[in-house]
Amino acid sequence: MVAKQLSVFIENRQGRLHEVLDVLKLNKINILSLSLADTTEYGLLRLIVNDPEKGKDKLTFAGFSTMTTDVLVIKIDHKAGSLQGLLENLSDRGINIEYMYGLSVDGEDAFVVLKTSDLEEALQTLKKIGVTTLSTEDLKDIK
């Protein structure tokens, strides 16, 4: 299963992140996870939210440059080496990890958001080794 990630390009200036978060709050869009990377000129805010299409529409209407991207949200066992083993399976099939960041869904299990060079191949590989993935629909009702 594939999930939608919301990406927002924001100027690297005081208060701009607050403005993005305010649009989401006012429209009752829940943030499940985020990653913020910056340069001297701009920031790239990546978000997993409960309604990425609504988030994109509302942020675009508010003047932000946004896009959605397909990503994998994968469940990882809480034990040493679990992530490494999973990534090794992907690497063995020539799949590159472009970026990833953590996600808390239920307070018990560990999840990561993963963007790969070949999403479909990664998904098939993860299915073969029994890894649980979440879709955008699975994430909609998380509070």
**Predicted model pTM:** 0.84
**Contact indicator for 87, 97 with CB cutoff of 8 Å:** yes
Domain with CATH 3.30.2130.10 in the chain: 3-70, 71-139
Q: Give the span between the Cα atoms of 48 and 50, in whole angstroms.
A: 7
Identify the CATH homologous superfamily for domain 3-70. VC0802-like (3.30.2130.10)
* Packing angle of the helix pair 52-61, 16-26 (nearest 10 deg): 120
Encode pLDDT of 108-139 as tens digits.
677 888 888 998 999 999 999 998 888 888 88
Q: What integer is the mean pLDDT of 68-97?
A: 91
Alpha-helix runs per DSSP H in the chain: 16-26, 52-61, 82-92, 119-128, 136-139
pLDDT, residue 106, reads 64
Task: Label residue 105 by pLDDT band (50, 70, 90).
Answer: low
| CATH classification code of 71-139 | 3.30.2130.10
